[in-house]
Amino acid sequence: MPGRVEGKVALVMGGGQTPGDTIGNGRATALLLAREGARVFVVDLDGDRAAATCAEIRREGGQAESFAADVRQEADVQAAVVACVKAFGRLDLLHNNIGGGLSLGDESAVKMSVEAWDRVFEVNLRGMWLACKWAIPVMQEHGGGSIVNISSAAAHHKYPRVGYKTTKVAVIGLTEYLAAEHAGDMIRVNTILPGLMETPMAIEPRVAEGVAREVVIAERNRQVPLGKKMGSGWDVAYAALFLHSDEARFISGVALPVDGAMLVSG
Ligand SMILES: NC(=O)c1ccc[n+]([C@@H]2O[C@H](COP(=O)([O-])OP(=O)(O)OC[C@H]3O[C@@H](n4cnc5c(N)ncnc54)[C@H](O)[C@@H]3O)[C@@H](O)[C@H]2O)c1
């Protein structure tokens, strides 16, 4: 049986992960794309984290290469795209996973500093655009492709920090723009809105603040309508796999919640 993305080359931006007990969205997606036949180019600010994802893919018999790059630097992003094409000869799937908030100094609108505002925008929004800027010409050359940008359910519900909220809404706008602009190039562009996921990036910063792990987990689980349990990195990965696969060949410009019915529950 061929895999669902057999023969494709995937560039996963932010495919390492925050250390922790569970799997992150980016690493789970990189692993799943590889299991389903893609060769995966894993990019991360932290080269060791990217290499660890690749090692796991190779252990399972897949093909992967890692690359250290900072999505805030255009030259790094360009170099990552060039290196991906050099390694695997093409680029079919771009997965833009990088995003952050608290760790970048995100705050309420009245407390936020200009520096933190710029940091959140650089990482969450400008980085996604830069990856698209350099990947799209390669996809155009090869007759098409798929881009998935990771936003957040926070785009559509009340959220306490202004930078994350605003950039995650803007990711949807960027996605819609690109989907319309590049439909003629056979490039599909979609976004995923994860809800409350049990990933290290969501749990570890709160634990580091001194809140007991069980309390953080219980608080988050309580808020999820579907089964009173958070989702996992695999839930985002399976949605991404579908959107990147040819099963979604007529789907472009959508924002898919992966949130256990949170958005529809008010
Ligand atoms: N976990 C959740 O509950 C949740 C909910 C909604 C949305 N999301 C979104 O999911 C995405 C992250 O998921 P994850 O679990 O893979 O997170 P993660 O923190 O485990 O992985 C993100 C990776 O991005 C890398 N990174 C950070 N800044 C970078 C930069 N400047 N250049 C290159 N790489 C950089 C980090 O080193 C890290 O390895 C984010 O876009 C986040 O907003 C998560």
How many structural domains does the chain have? 1
Task: Tell me the mean pLDDT in the region 150-164.
Answer: 97
Q: How far apart are CA 199 and CA 218, in angstroms?
A: 14
- Minimal-distance CA residue to ligand 1 atom 2: 197
Whole-number Å distance, alpha carbon 101 to ligand 1 midpoint, is: 10
Whole-number Å distance, alpha carbon 18 to ligand 1 midpoint, is: 8
> What CATH number does the domain containing 92 carry?
3.40.50.720
In short, whether 163's Cβ falls inside 6 Å of ligand 1 is no
Q: What are the tens digits of pLDDT across the range 213-239?
A: 999 999 999 999 999 999 999 999 999
Query: Is position 146 within any domain?
Result: yes
Whole-number Å distance, alpha carbon 124 to ligand 1 midpoint, is: 9
Asked whether residue 133 carries a pLDDT value surpassing 90, the answer given is yes
Query: Is position 157 within any domain?
Result: yes
Ramachandran angles phi, psi of 103, nearest 5°: -65, -15
In short, whether 233's Cβ falls inside 6 Å of ligand 1 is yes
Query: Is position 94 within any domain?
Result: yes
- Percent of residues, the chain, with pLDDT higher than 90: 97
Whole-number Å distance, alpha carbon 130 to ligand 1 midpoint, is: 16
Per the structure, the complete domain to which residue 87 belongs is given by 9-196+232-258
- Minimal-distance CA residue to ligand 1 atom 29: 45
Q: Which residues are catalytic?
A: 164
Q: What are the tens digits of pLDDT across the range 56-87?
A: 999 999 999 999 999 999 999 999 999 999 99
Give the predicted TM-score (pTM) of the model.
0.98
Query: Is position 3 within any domain?
Result: no
Instruction: Give, in order, the Cα–Cα distances in Å from 19 to each of 27, 49, 133, 201, 203.
Output: 11, 9, 30, 8, 10
In short, whether 196's Cβ falls inside 6 Å of ligand 1 is yes
Q: How far apart are CA 258 and CA 30, in angstroms?
A: 18
Asked whether residue 28 carries a pLDDT value surpassing 90, the answer given is yes
- Rg (alpha carbons) of the chain, rounded to whole number: 17
In short, whether 15's Cβ falls inside 6 Å of ligand 1 is no
In short, whether 14's Cβ falls inside 6 Å of ligand 1 is yes
Instruction: Give, in order, the Cα–Cα distances in Å from 61 to each of 83, 94, 120.
Output: 22, 22, 36
Asked whether residue 266 carries a pLDDT value surpassing 90, the answer given is no
Q: What are the tens digits of pLDDT across the range 246-262?
A: 999 999 999 999 999 99
Query: Is position 202 within any domain?
Result: no
- Minimal-distance CA residue to ligand 1 atom 39: 17
Query: Is position 216 within any domain?
Result: no
Asked whether residue 1 carries a pLDDT value surpassing 90, the answer given is no
Cα 126 versus chain centre, distance: 14
Query: Is position 43 within any domain?
Result: yes
Task: Tell me the mean pLDDT in the region 138-152.
Answer: 98
pLDDT band at 114 (very low <50, low <70, confident <90, very high): very high
Q: What's the pLDDT at 261?
A: 98
Q: 97, 126, 134, 206: which to mutate for ligand 1, most atoms within 8 A of CB?
A: 97
Query: Is position 2 within any domain?
Result: no
Asked whether residue 184 carries a pLDDT value surpassing 90, the answer given is yes
Helix 213-222 with 200-208: angle, nearest 10 deg = 130
Whole-number Å distance, alpha carbon 66 to ligand 1 midpoint, is: 16
98: closest CA among 50, 33, 158, 40? 50
Mean pLDDT (the chain) is: 97
In short, whether 193's Cβ falls inside 6 Å of ligand 1 is no
In short, whether 230's Cβ falls inside 6 Å of ligand 1 is no
Q: Which residue matches tokens 């505002």?
A: 117
- Percent of residues, the chain, with pLDDT higher than 70: 100
